[in-house]
Structure 1
Amino acid sequence: MSAASSRTPGAVGRFRDALRGSPALWWSFVYFFCLLSGYYVLRPVREAMSASADVEAVFPRAMIDFFGAHGMPLKDFTLQVLFTCTFLIMLVLQPLYGALVSRYPRRVFLPVVYGFFIVTLLVFYVLFDTGVPGRGMAFFLWITVFNLFAVAVFWSFMADVFSNAEAKAYYGYIGAAGTLGAFLGPILTRTLVERIGIAHLMLISAGFLCVCMVCLLRLRLWAVKREQAQRLASGEVPMGGSVLAGLQLIVREPLLRWLAIMVLFGVGIGTLLYNEQAAIVRRLFTDPASSTAYYATIDLAVNALTLLVQVFLTRLLLSRYGIAPALLIPGVAVIVGYSILAASPLPMMVAVVQVVTRASEFSLAKPARETIYTRVDREWRYKAGAAIDTVIYRGGDLTFAWVHKLLSAFGPHVLFGGGLLAACGMTFGAWRLLREADKLPAERRDGVPADARAATS
């Protein structure tokens, strides 16, 4: 038997043993698989809408006329306007989400979040089925909010279910489940979109979210048991506190500040690539179905690389070496990628660097960041973590969407040179985050880490 073949049963055996030893892992596996399946069924539709040359399919006619009358044709500022509107929506939703998690227990606000997304998917089925003008903008804004809030809530909930040691052992597996779901989503879209139409994809995604609802209700039982056994703050009572506590914690706490800075620059490098890729798609494709299929292909490439890293590297790095390599390796990879683009900005290289950037984020950086939340209290996870994944994230999108508009006027070499500076900023933020994370206790103590108690005493 070859060395390669002898390793495979070992990896499969470890995964099988982990599932047998932790039923919660099985439910988490199914949960994240269905969550990303549902999202990735719809993601290519969002990309096609944002890159569409048919401005009336994206924006309402009144909005097109208003901006045109003021000398700003929307077809030239599609992504900039969409990212600006998304950020404004995040500013409105953040205090609403803060009020929800402050005033209601976990058993209430988790189903409410997912129930809201299921109902709105049924609304979008009607909008796309009837061809309502402006549906592209509405859907782009909705799915962006869905992606950030639904995934942020998932990882915050995982930190209720698993300890820090379990997170290092299991998050690679859970991430791989999401990647498998992210594989299935584009395959379904690529296979079905030209047969059943875009509207019916909404119903498929809603079905996946219904399964997510079942999983979170089951996982809540393990979260309660862990909190009782370790005498941690219970998620079955309202969290309390200010509805703006998430943003206040980011300003006050060094660890959260550096985490926000890392995310801000990480989003920036992705946004620059995203906008440049959208410009390429507008030149190459005119049909929404063909551009949707193109984006589905990109997603498949990202998820293939992500799965390979998660299966063979993520768990090894987190379990043996901690979060440092998983946070720093993506930074180095992105610096190399942007250096290549600054020297040779070919369209194919843009796609390659896009794949590497997103795959390293999903397979390494994201699981490493999420393990940190197992060592802090619930307000840090549900409020500050959600604020970073929504307001800070979309603030980075907004900022770098306009940065792309500015730098692209000077040519691709300048554009990707700016991206190289952003990649360096992300890597520096990761290094400072690691220094702050070293000050946290190995496990959460009574729901509040030592440095948080000192800061609030």
Structure 2
Amino acid sequence: MSAAATAPVQSGLRGALRQSPPLIWACLYFFCLLSGYYVLRPVREAMAASADAKAVFPPVLIDWFSAHGIAVQDFVLQFLFTGVFFIMLVLQPLYGALVSRYARRVFLPAVYVFFIISLLGFYLLFDSGVPGRGMAFFFWAAVFNLFAVAVFWSFMADVFSNAQAREVYGYIGAAGTLGAFLGPIITAALVERVGIANLMLVSAGFLSACLVCIWRLRLWAVAREQEQKLVSGETPMGGSVLDGLKLIVREPLLRWLAVLVLFGVGVGTMLYNEQASIVRRLYPDAAASTAFFSRVDLAVNTLTLIVQLGFTRWLLSRYGIAPALLIPGVAIIIGFSILAASPLPLMVAMVQVMTRASEFSLAKPARETIYTRVDRQWRYKAGAAIDTVVYRGGDLTFAWVHKGLSLFGSHIVFVGGLVVAGAMTIAALGLLREEKKLPGERPE
């Protein structure tokens, strides 16, 4: 088992799967994880774009806004992103306590069991049509997307070496993309037949399969740590619940990672908000808007899969992470330049597809390979803090930036997006400079 987990993988997907059994389980894990999430993502998008304030917000909140002369439907995304950010601030220390005090075999399953139980609760909320279910689900889905995926990639860095990561992360990402394909297909096929509530049960089934994959992959993680005499993940990490945030402040590489993620989120948030306003006008029905977002997701995942299978592994293994980090920035700058000149709805959707696909197929795998060369505190604590607090801080900041710029029209929104995309590219260059200082493999 240990030899398979640590030897460099053969070129080609068949050779990689044949020589590296953990790759099979890693692919299945990410496939199930993203299938479960993408079943729900169109529901989340539809709630955010809903014109029915009562479906999104609880009556007490609507009454409070009304009493203060504020039409809550004019600030849906800004309010939701603000709420998500503060929820992340509360959850980050709790997550820090979990990973500090409990071994990997405990906190990894605990994260997914929590989300499975939550989905059963949302089944009841949507089935009974409880007012405010949209807000609660939006908050939950944002937390699920970031924590569940952040935990996945941190765990992968326990299983694979840096050399292996450059070979297999493209394949793992492709497996996730196939899951992201399946999710919207399930949603588009079922939502108008069985209703939104039953989609919660479908997602819970996929997350249950993730638990089996975690149990299997932990065996290879343990073998790798023992063979290379690394610090064992089977013992608690210890330390403070705020270690992740402290590491980001102290370490230059982590600071550049945080800045890169912040501005990357800014580009996506500004584009997302502009798209949501368009959908709100064109698709007032929740089921119709859910179907629209599922089609956008399918387009994103098609492009992502093509790049992952035909380009990502070759690029990372041959040229390292630099092109994978810089190409998305250049592509986004070109896209926003076009939108600044001609912000047509179809063009917005096309740039959205390009932006998200380049993040999933290139930028994300490139960033995650860095974590294979650092210790567990950086991966599980700092990495999670970047993917949650910093990420949602970017959402919050640029949701309000978009609100201000949108007063002057779509052209100004996309000119602002150009500035943000330029800052993201500069951050990528700073990260690459610090990445060159890391050892070839993680320290013992």
Q: TM-score range by the shorter chain?
A: over 0.9
Aligned to 2:432: 434
Aligned to 1:389: 387
Aligned to 2:293: 295
Write the mapping of 1:418-429 to structure 2, written as runs, cut at 5 A: 418-429=416-427
Structure 2 CA distance for aligned equivalents of residues 410 and 289 of structure 1:
31
Aligned to 1:269: 267
SS of the aligned residue for 2:12 comes to helix
Aligned to 2:177: 179
Alignment CA distance shift 1:254-1:13 (3 Å): closer
CA deviation string 1:181-226 (max 9, x = no partner): 0000000000000111100000000000000000011100000000
Letter in 1 for 2:257: L
Structure 1 CA distance for aligned equivalents of residues 183 and 117 of structure 2:
20
Is 1:19 matched up with 2:17? yes
Which residue of 49, 69, 72 maps to 1:71?
69
Which residue of 246, 249, 254 maps to 1:248?
246
Q: CA deviation at 1:286?
A: 1.3
Q: CA deviation at 1:445?
A: 2.1
CA deviation string 1:110-166 (max 9, x = no partner): 010000000000000000000000000000000100000000000000000000000
SS of the aligned residue for 1:77 comes to helix
SS of the aligned residue for 1:341 comes to helix
Which residue of 337, 340, 344 maps to 1:339?
337
Structure 2 CA distance for aligned equivalents of residues 66 and 231 of structure 1:
58
Q: CA deviation at 1:13?
A: 8.2
Aligned to 2:326: 328
Letter in 2 for 1:151: V
Aligned to 1:279: 277
Structure 2 length-normalised TM:
0.97
Structure 2 CA distance for aligned equivalents of residues 167 and 72 of structure 1:
50
Structure 2 CA distance for aligned equivalents of residues 263 and 328 of structure 1:
13
Structure 1 CA distance for aligned equivalents of residues 443 and 375 of structure 2:
9
Letter in 2 for 1:422: V
Unpaired runs of 5+ residues, structure 2, are 1-9
Structure 1 CA distance for aligned equivalents of residues 429 and 165 of structure 2:
21
SS of the aligned residue for 2:69 comes to coil
Structure 2 CA distance for aligned equivalents of residues 160 and 13 of structure 1:
22
SS of the aligned residue for 1:432 comes to helix
Q: CA deviation at 1:167?
A: 0.2
SS of the aligned residue for 2:408 comes to coil
Letter in 2 for 1:399: T
Aligned to 2:357: 359
Aligned pair count reads: 435
Give every structure 1 segment of 4 or more consecutive aligned residues whose post-TM-superposition deviation is greater than 2 Å. Answer: none
Structure 1 CA distance for aligned equivalents of residues 255 and 341 of structure 2:
33
Structure 1 CA distance for aligned equivalents of residues 145 and 170 of structure 2:
20
Write the mapping of 1:160-179 to structure 2, written as runs, cut at 5 A: 160-179=158-177
Structure 2 CA distance for aligned equivalents of residues 287 and 347 of structure 1:
18
CA deviation string 1:17-36 (max 9, x = no partner): 11110110000000000000
Which residue of 123, 126, 135 maps to 2:133?
135
Which residue of 188, 191, 214 maps to 1:190?
188
CA deviation string 1:368-417 (max 9, x = no partner): 00000000000000000000000000000000000010000011111111
Structure 2 CA distance for aligned equivalents of residues 63 and 410 of structure 1:
29
Letter in 2 for 1:364: L
**Percent of aligned positions that are identical:** 75
Unpaired runs of 5+ residues, structure 1, are 1-11, 447-457
Is 1:444 matched up with 2:410? no
Structure 1 CA distance for aligned equivalents of residues 132 and 323 of structure 2:
44
Structure 1 length-normalised TM:
0.95
Letter in 1 for 2:318: R
Is 1:31 matched up with 2:29? yes
Structure 1 CA distance for aligned equivalents of residues 413 and 124 of structure 2:
40
Aligned to 1:315: 313
Is 1:86 matched up with 2:81? no
CA deviation string 1:297-346 (max 9, x = no partner): 00000000000000000000000000000000000000100111111111
